Amino acid sequence: MKATIAEVKNYVGREVTIGAWLANKRSSGKIQFLELRDGTGYIQGVILKNEVSEKDWEEARELTQESSLYVTGTVREDKRAPSGFELTVSSVEPIQIANDYPITPKEHGVEFLMDHRHLWLRSSRQHAILRIRNMVIKATYDFFNDHGFIKVDPPILTGSSAEGTTDLFHTKYFDRDAYLSQSGQLYMEAAAMAFGKVFSFGPAFRAEKSKTRRHLIEFWMIEPEMAFVDHEENLKVQENYVAYIVQEVLKNCQPELKTIGRDTSKLEKIKAPFPRITYDQAIEFLKEQGFDDIEWGDDFGSPHETAIAERFEVPVFVTEYPTEVKAFYMKPVPGREEVVLCADLLAPEGYGEIIGGSQRIDDLELMEERYRQFHLTDPSYEWYLELRKYGSVPHSGFGLGLERAIAWICGLEHIREAIPFPRLLNRIYP
Ligand code: ATP
Ligand code: MG
Ligand code: MG
Ligand code: MG
């Protein structure tokens, strides 16, 4: 019977064959212990010299780290084993003997590990992080589907930029110019006018020459957009969504959280609603804390976001930023045109902005004025203006950076571990 390691619990006392890689090996005289992994989990295979053929015993002895094999044995329950099960091996069939696997159990530098990312993914820590990523993606689809959202996919190649032309990857589109998408935002607004509540999950590209622990060149964004939804309702969706993904990870990923040594007591506190402070209050607070590198009207940098969020154990919304620092499509606060109806959600523990969202301008005349102010004369923006001509309605949305959220949920030192093949300022290999 073929089985995966995750499935062995269904076969106690029976013989199974598992396709696996050798993670580690120990032996003492007449016993060999094989630590096996197959992507679904780990199990120890025990080989007793007297119970297997001479050939199997010798073949097992030749197995090196990351050699691939089929192993057949009887599943035994074992309370002391990390997985709760053990395999009493009856035969081994090597597929390939791996020679000089570069990632040994000893310590390696980050650059070395990044050069070997294609192999590093096999380590128990990387494996655990990416399983948590998978759980967050599943929880995202579940949450939005359960709340009546339709998934709509915006284009990745675009003829225009959503929020200014700096930081855009330029490419050729036959004999025209095109850009890699920085955000699906504008298209999601069109989708919301067609379907009411929509969300997207796709890659975003930013040619940012910044080298921070929070920025990737290529990252994945979740972008919900909702018709007939105001700023207040938008924040409620965000806090319920973020609390939901954290609770789902806690519910389903305890072994992974343990593998990476995450302090789960911090995550257990993540429940909606989240606190809110205005941009004005945040500036006042930073001044009190002695920050003299920020004035009203500036966007926050990482140290500012960290200082603001440090006061809270759960994510905090900072609302009503100056119009100047935000995108052209955000709706002004009624009676206070210098600030907009927006919010950034800052994660605790110094992980910075995980969500940026806002109420969108739905008034045609105001949008036309913004087009003039921002010099949006490019004909590729015309379709977006038309959304305000044909049945414009109040609408809001937000964008969550998946890797930012994963870095926080997993407590990572650097965002590079939150994506299988990170693209960084100096790295596009492997
Ligand atoms: P930041 O201020 O951190 O540079 P941003 O305000 O430029 O972020 P938005 O345009 O609001 O980012 O994008 C929405 C979300 O996408 C952010 O809240 C963040 O979670 C994520 N994000 C933005 N830029 C990056 C990046 N370079 N790498 C990873 N995630 C990012
Ligand atoms: Mg940015
Ligand atoms: Mg920002
Ligand atoms: Mg933002």
What was the ipTM of the complex prediction? 0.99
Model confidence pLDDT, tens digit, residues 64-100: 999 999 999 999 999 988 889 999 999 999 999 999 9
What pLDDT sits at residue 165? 63
pTM given for the model:
0.97
Say if residues 364 and 388 touch (Cβ distance below 8 Å): yes
| DSSP letter (8 states) at residue 214 | S
Model confidence pLDDT, tens digit, residues 120-138: 999 999 999 999 999 999 9
Q: Name the residue of 200, 223, 302, 353 to mutate for ligand 1: max ligand atoms within 8 A of Cβ.
A: 353
Q: How would DSSP label each residue in 98-137?
A: --S-S--SS---HHHHHHTHHHHTTSHHHHHHHHHHHHHH
Q: Please work out whether the CB of residue 399 comes within 6 Å of at least one atom of ligand 1.
A: yes
For 289-416, where are the alpha helices, taking DSSP H only? 302-309, 364-373, 382-386, 402-410
Say if residues 384 and 213 touch (Cβ distance below 8 Å): no
Q: Name the residue of 215, 344, 416 to mutate for ligand 1: max ligand atoms within 8 A of Cβ.
A: 215
Model confidence pLDDT, tens digit, residues 290-323: 999 999 999 999 999 999 999 999 999 999 999 9
**Residue 178 host element (H or E):** strand 176-180
Neighbours of ion ligand 3 (CB under 5 A): 353
What pLDDT sits at residue 377? 83
Say if residues 183 and 230 touch (Cβ distance below 8 Å): no
Say if residues 72 and 89 touch (Cβ distance below 8 Å): yes
Q: How far is 79 from 331, CA to CA, in rounded Å? A: 59
C-alpha 356 to ligand 4 mean position (Å): 4
State which ligand 1 atom lies nearest to the alpha carbon of 405.
Answer: 20
Place of tokens 């800052």: 346
* Domains, the chain, with CATH or none: 5-96 (2.40.50.140), 117-418 (3.30.930.10)
pLDDT band at 162 (very low <50, low <70, confident <90, very high): low
Q: How far is 428 from 175, CA to CA, in rounded Å? A: 26
- The first and second tokens of residue 323, run together, are 């119009």
C-alpha 411 to ligand 4 mean position (Å): 21
Q: Quick one: which of 132, 419, 124 has its CA closest to 430?
A: 419
Q: How many CA atoms lie within 13 A of 288 on its CB side?
A: 8
